[in-house]
Amino acid sequence: MKPQPNVNSQYARDLTYAFHPYTNARAHEERGPIIMDHGKGVFVYDDQGNEYLEALAGLWSVGVGYGEERLVTAAAEQMRKLPYYHSFAHKANGPAIDLAEQLVKMTPERLARVFFANSGSEANDTVIKMVWYYNNAIGRPEKKKIVARIRGYHGITIASGSLTGLPWNHRDFDLPIANILHTACPHHYRFAMEGESEEEFASRLAGQFEQLILDEGPETIAAFIGEPVMGAGGVIVPPKTYWQKIQAICRKYDILVIADEVITGFGRTGTPFACERFDIDPDILVLSKQITSSYLPMSAVLFTDAFYQPIADNTAKIGTFGHGFTTSGHPVASAVALENLAIIQERDLFGNAARVGEYLQTRLRSAFSDHPLVGEIRGVGLIAAVELVADKASKRSFDPLGRLGAYFFDQGHKRGIIIRNVQDSMAICPPLVITEEEVDELVKRFGQTLDDALAWSRDAF
């Protein structure tokens, strides 16, 4: 057991004063924190000197790796020049202007404007309000419902947390709010019927989505939101033709298409944006995390000119757009984002994600497909998941679901690897800078943890 330092230590003060997100508070009181001290590249180190291969890039987000001095310099230089200014009432700053222009130029073609926020949750909260505002502006006050998906993740504010389709984000928070609906999760391995191809499964889900629209009334459905690849729901890669069929239904009923690329944006799937990989033509695009490699908080909502014009007209009618954040378009975060994107482009990290991502996917499958615990290995580019099952042939999960995943997560720390357990799916999402040699080390540490989990499971279930 980790020795507990004196009462004035960071360890003790964390237990005394801090309340952690996504944490069992009572369990934390018993276990205490792992205090991270520094990082370099794909590795982080705690205050006891233990090394961890950060196989989740923090929280799906540290694209250029840890310890990137160019981002430190960019922040320091902007702090000296203009450490803060707001963007309310016609104010602007140079880095935010430059960043808005660059984002418009590098994202899907129809996107024309940018609104800045500080997190994916704030961005998706903004999207909901803008969709409602837009439909009021064009005289469709009844067209307000937004369809998300079961197991989708879009944030944790009251509004964005309602979009999220995970039970632990709703339970005892009195969520979801009104006007938020959920349709089926596109996970072929778990939810396809026996013998159903990916295309057939996609057609069935599209049919369910269309029936939901008809049941609710097309005149009431404003938008559909989805992650191109689901992240926190378990790294769910959509079945073939899924996005084409969903988009066709949206266009048929004049429903906005919102692509949430908070996780997949900026190269994660091996293309600059996952919209390119899956042929998504969004009306609205949401970005965060790798926009600054999470060195500083920032998010962005991009949208088409057709969406912008009625909103702009309504601001003239009302006198303002009554929404925004104190730190929208923060100059230091914008400067860091610009330098981060420069690094990604100069070092061809989009290309690295494609090349090394293919290597990661191949290595995971060759190493673990035959392992007795492994039911499915899925992913694209530098994002993947290994789903653990009690029986490979029937796909039967362990009962209770998530107990083995929690053990794997904890045991991984002892083996020097940090992953994310989504129930019994082990999510992997390393920094974009990872090399093939580091992938080999990741697979080695993951395999050791997997064998530990197998041995433990024989007595635990």
In a domain, 23, yes or no: no
Angstrom distance (rounded) from CA 164 to CA 166 = 6
Rounded to two decimals, the pTM is 0.96
Let me know: does 275 contact 281? Beta carbons within 8 Å: yes
Q: Given 330, 346, 362, which residue is the final one in a domain?
A: 346
Angstrom distance (rounded) from CA 328 to CA 326 = 6
Q: What is the CATH number of the domain that holds 280?
A: 3.40.640.10
Let me know: does 350 contact 314? Beta carbons within 8 Å: no
Residues 77 and 47 in one domain: no
Residues 121 and 188 in one domain: yes
Neighbours of 49 (CB within 10 A): 7
Check residue 111 and give its pLDDT: 98
Residues 195 and 283 in one domain: yes
Residues 99 and 247 in one domain: yes
Task: Report the length, in residues, of the chain.
Answer: 461
Residues 445 and 373 in one domain: yes
DSSP per-residue string spanning 276-308: HHTT---SEEEE-GGGTTTSS--EEEEEEHHHH
Angstrom distance (rounded) from CA 75 to CA 331 = 9
* 417: DSSP letter: E
Residues 358 and 342 in one domain: no
Residues 60 and 74 in one domain: no
Sites in the chain below the pLDDT cut of 70: 1-8
Angstrom distance (rounded) from CA 382 to CA 64 = 13
Grouping H, G, I as helix, E, B as strand and the rest as coil, residue 263 is: coil
Angstrom distance (rounded) from CA 145 to CA 453 = 43
Check residue 1 and give its pLDDT: 40
Backbone CA torsion sign across 320, 322, 327, 328? negative
* 391: DSSP letter: B
Q: In the Cβ-directed half-sphere of 34, how many Cα atoms lie within 13 Å?
A: 16
Pick left, alpha or beta for residue 184 (phi over 0 → left; psi -120 to 50 → alpha; otherwise beta). Answer: beta
Residues 370 and 340 in one domain: no
Residue 146 structure tokens? 């937004």
Let me know: does 417 contact 372? Beta carbons within 8 Å: no
In a domain, 442, yes or no: yes
Check residue 5 and give its pLDDT: 52
Domain span including residue 429: 34-64+348-460
Phi/psi for 383 (5° steps) reads: -145, 135
Burial of 143 (0-12, 13-18, 19+ CB in 10 A): buried
In a domain, 440, yes or no: yes
Grouping H, G, I as helix, E, B as strand and the rest as coil, residue 133 is: helix
Angstrom distance (rounded) from CA 42 to CA 24 = 27
Q: Given 312, 346, 380, which residue is the final one in a domain?
A: 346
Closest CA to 383 of 434, 316, 337: 434
Separation in Å, CA 227 to CA 82, 197, 404: 35, 22, 26
Residues 118 and 104 in one domain: yes
User: What residues are paired with 256 via a beta bridge?
Assistant: 223
Q: How many domains does the chain have?
A: 2
Return the ∠ at Cα 57 (arms to 175 and 161), rounded to 5°.
Answer: 10
Residues 336 and 361 in one domain: no
In a domain, 455, yes or no: yes
Phi/psi for 284 (5° steps) reads: -140, 135
Let me know: does 156 contact 334? Beta carbons within 8 Å: no
Q: What is the CATH number of the domain that holds 385?
A: 3.90.1150.10
In a domain, 208, yes or no: yes
Backbone CA torsion sign across 306, 309, 314, 315? positive
Residues 332 and 378 in one domain: no
Check residue 95 and give its pLDDT: 98
* 9: DSSP letter: S
In a domain, 20, yes or no: no
Check residue 357 and give its pLDDT: 98
In a domain, 436, yes or no: yes
- The DSSP element (H or E) to which 385 belongs, if any, is strand 383-388
- Give residue for tokens 């040699």: 437
Check residue 386 and give its pLDDT: 98
- Write out pLDDT tens, residues 174-197: 999 999 999 999 999 999 999 999
Backbone CA torsion sign across 164, 378, 415, 405? positive
Residues 342 and 352 in one domain: no
Q: Given 314, 346, 378, which residue is the final one in a domain?
A: 346
Return the ∠ at Cα 286 (arms to 282 and 289), rounded to 5°.
Answer: 140
DSSP per-residue string spanning 59-110: HHT-TT-B--HHHHHHHHHHHHH------STT---HHHHHHHHHHHHHS-TT
Angstrom distance (rounded) from CA 364 to CA 379 = 10
In a domain, 29, yes or no: no
